[in-house]
C-alpha cells in the first residue's frame, strides 16, 4: 500500500486513513444535523480533523487542547485553594 511512497508521504497517507476512519465512525454515531462534535485538539492535526469533520457534514465546536489544559489546571488549583478566586472574599 505504501511501498512506493517516501517516508513523509507514507506518514501523511496513514494519518489521512486514520482520520478518515475516525470521521466515518463519528458520522455513523452522530449523523448530520446532530449536536456539534466537540473537537479538543491543537495545531495542524486539529485543523485536519476540523476540516474532515466539516467535509463529512458534521458541525464542529473546536476547543484548543493547550488552552483547555491550562484552564483545567487553574480551576483545579482554585478548587484546592492553591490560588485565590477572582473577586472572592477570604
Q: Tell me, yes or no, whether 61 lies in a domain.
A: yes
Q: Tell me, yes or no, whether 86 lies in a domain.
A: no
Q: Tell me, yes or no, whether 30 lies in a domain.
A: yes
Q: Tell me, yes or no, whether 21 lies in a domain.
A: yes
Q: Which residue has the cell 487542547?
A: 65
CA gap 75, 66 in Å, rounded:
14
Domain count, the chain: 1
Q: Tell me, yes or no, whether 85 lies in a domain.
A: no
In tens, the pLDDT along 2-54 reads 788 899 999 999 999 999 999 999 888 877 667 888 999 999 999 999 999 99
Q: Tell me, yes or no, whether 84 lies in a domain.
A: no
Q: Tell me, yes or no, whether 40 lies in a domain.
A: yes
Q: How many CB atoms lie within 10 A of CB 80?
A: 8
Where is 60: in which H helix or E strand?
A: strand 60-64
43-55 helix and 7-30 helix, angle to the nearest 10 degrees: 50
Q: Tell me, yes or no, whether 90 lies in a domain.
A: no
The parent domain of residue 51 ranges over 7-79
pTM for the model:
0.72
In tens, the pLDDT along 53-72 reads 999 988 999 999 999 999 99
Amino acid at each position: 500500500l505504501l511501498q512506493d511512497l517516501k517516508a513523509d508521504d507514507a506518514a501523511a497517507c496513514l494519518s489521512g486513513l486514520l482520520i478518515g476512519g475516525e470521521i466515518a465512525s463519528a458520522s455513523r454515531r452522530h449523523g448530520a444535523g446532530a449536536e456539534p462534535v466537540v473537537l479538543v485538539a491543537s495545531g495542524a492535526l486539529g485543523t485536519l480533523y476540523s476540516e474532515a469533520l466539516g467535509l463529512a457534514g458534521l458541525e464542529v465546536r473546536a476547543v484548543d487542547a493547550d488552552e483547555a489544559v491550562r484552564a483545567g489546571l487553574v480551576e483545579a488549583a482554585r478548587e484546592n485553594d492553591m490560588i485565590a478566586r477572582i473577586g472572592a472574599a477570604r
